Amino acid sequence: MKFFVDTADIDDIKEMAATGLLDGVTTNPSLIAKSGRDFMEVTKEICGLTDGPVSAEVVALDHETMMKEAEVLRKIADNVCIKVPLTIDGLKTCKALTNDGTMVNVTLCFSANQALLAAKAGATFVSPFVGRHDDNGFDGMELIEDIRLIYDNYDFETEILVASIRHATHVLQSAKIGADVATMPPAVIKALFKHVLTDKGIEGFMADWAKTGQTILR
């Protein structure tokens, strides 16, 4: 499973990239607004921090303007992945961009039928929002299972990019189902490292080592 970080905070991205475990970055208008920085400037800086895809979202709702915005965005860097909403105009834009060799992330997916349409439009990634799905009384993981089954049935190349991840269990369940990518806030990625028994084990090892009075660096 690929790990993307879902943020526009440069310091957080640098920290995650330093682990060697980061495969890409996703952003959206809300995250860009939270950063308080210029959209083009911060996107360019993010693209320089990872070799993986960096999702940059169009804000237009009609196909013609989406294409114009995408033309500007994809000139930022070779690893820009154009993010479009799962609408008729969004999928029309997806098809046109994909045919032109541009990576596309179709976002705001909330049903398996929508994911099927995204795959037929040639999306590089489809982003089902599991946390928001759960918030509205649905089962986010059941959605991932349905999409995985459909994509496997027809050998679609579109990758399932699980979004709106709220906690480590979402990551575990997504991996067990066979999702291709999980995009997470930095706090969730850090939570994956944590286990009380690991902490206790380190504490015990350090206490025993201190008793020896030895040092490795001399």
* 3-state secondary structure string across the chain: CEEEEECCCHHHHHHHHCCCCCCEEECCHHHHHHHCCCHHHHHHHHHCCCCCCEEEECCCCCHHHHHHHHHHHCCCCCCEEEEEECCHHHHHHHHHHHHCCCCEEEEEECCHHHHHHHHHCCCCEEEEEHHHHHHCCCCHHHHHHHHHHHHHHHCCCCEEEEECCCCHHHHHHHHHHCCCEEEECHHHHHHHHCCHHHHHHHHHHHHHHHHHCCCCCC
Domains (range + CATH), the chain: 2-212 (3.20.20.70)
Is 120 designated active site? Answer: no
Q: Cα separation of 51 and 152, whole Å?
A: 28
φ/ψ of residue 200, rounded to 5: -65, -40
pTM for this prediction: 0.95
Q: What does the pLDDT look like over 6-53, one tens digit per residue?
A: 999 999 999 999 999 999 999 988 898 888 889 999 999 999 999 999
Q: Which of 44, 83, 92, 194 is catalytic?
A: 83
Q: What does the pLDDT look like over 77-126, one tens digit per residue?
A: 999 999 999 999 999 999 999 999 999 999 999 999 999 999 999 999 99
Joined tokens for residue 107: 């976002």
Does pLDDT of 160 surpass 90?
A: yes
pLDDT number for residue 29:
87
φ/ψ of residue 197, rounded to 5: -75, -30
Q: What does the pLDDT look like over 177-199, one tens digit per residue?
A: 999 999 999 999 999 999 999 99
